[in-house]
Amino acid sequence: MTDSVSILSAAVRDVQDFPKPGILFKDITPILSDGRLFRMAVDCFVQANEGLRVDKVVGIDARGFLFGAAAAYELGLGFVPVRKKGKLPYQTESASYSLEYGESVVEMHVDAIAPGERVVLIDDLLATGGTAAAAACLIAKMGGILAEAQFLIELEFLAGRKALKDLPVRSFLKF
């Protein structure tokens, strides 16, 4: 996996001043648009889950869907979406989290995870950790057991792991 990590890291494009001035955005679209790189990224998640004995994969809206659904498919597991408020059609449970400019809410279907099911949480990026912490809260509300939270990229300088407290966290590319 070490070779994959260096190849994937080199493919991440830096975009200055996006989405606002002063931000250096880590763009993963070069990975997504290249079949070999996308497979490498998905394989990182698949390999990380081979020994975890998970029952389902939970992916966070929206790029977590890309990696999470692909990993779930490869692992032969079900996929559970965590979406922004108002986007899921059935009964939901919700969790809110703080943003630098206010608050946001994510939701999950009430029947998405059975009590005692072991799940892995997948997203593309761990920044401040708010969204992932809210998703972990939803997993716990359903009675699920979070085996690990996994991220393609971790922006270590933002200390997102602190928001996830004692939860097991793994990231592949660190900036």
The verdict on residue 136 lying in a domain is yes
Per the annotation, the verdict on 53 as an active-site residue is no
The verdict on residue 6 lying in a domain is no
- What pLDDT does residue 100 have? 66
The verdict on residue 124 lying in a domain is yes
In which domain, by residue range, is 164 found?
51-174
The verdict on residue 4 lying in a domain is no
Per the annotation, the verdict on 63 as an active-site residue is yes
What's this model's pTM, rounded to 2 decimal places? 0.96
The verdict on residue 29 lying in a domain is no
- Checking if the pLDDT of 97 tops 70, the result is yes
What residue type is 34 in one-letter code?
Answer: D
Tens digits of residue pLDDT in 48-76: 999 999 999 999 999 999 999 999 999 99
Could you tell me whether strands 56-60 and 118-126 are parallel, antiparallel, or unpaired per DSSP bridges?
A: parallel
Q: Quick one: tokens of 106? A: 């994510």
Q: Quick one: tokens of 33? A: 């648009």
The verdict on residue 107 lying in a domain is yes
Could you tell me whether strands 102-109 and 78-84 are parallel, antiparallel, or unpaired per DSSP bridges?
A: antiparallel
- Checking if the pLDDT of 99 tops 80, the result is no
| Number of domains observed in the structure of the chain | 1
Among the options 50, 53, 100, 103, which is catalytic? 100
- Checking if the pLDDT of 102 tops 80, the result is no
Among the options 39, 63, 118, 156, which is catalytic? 63
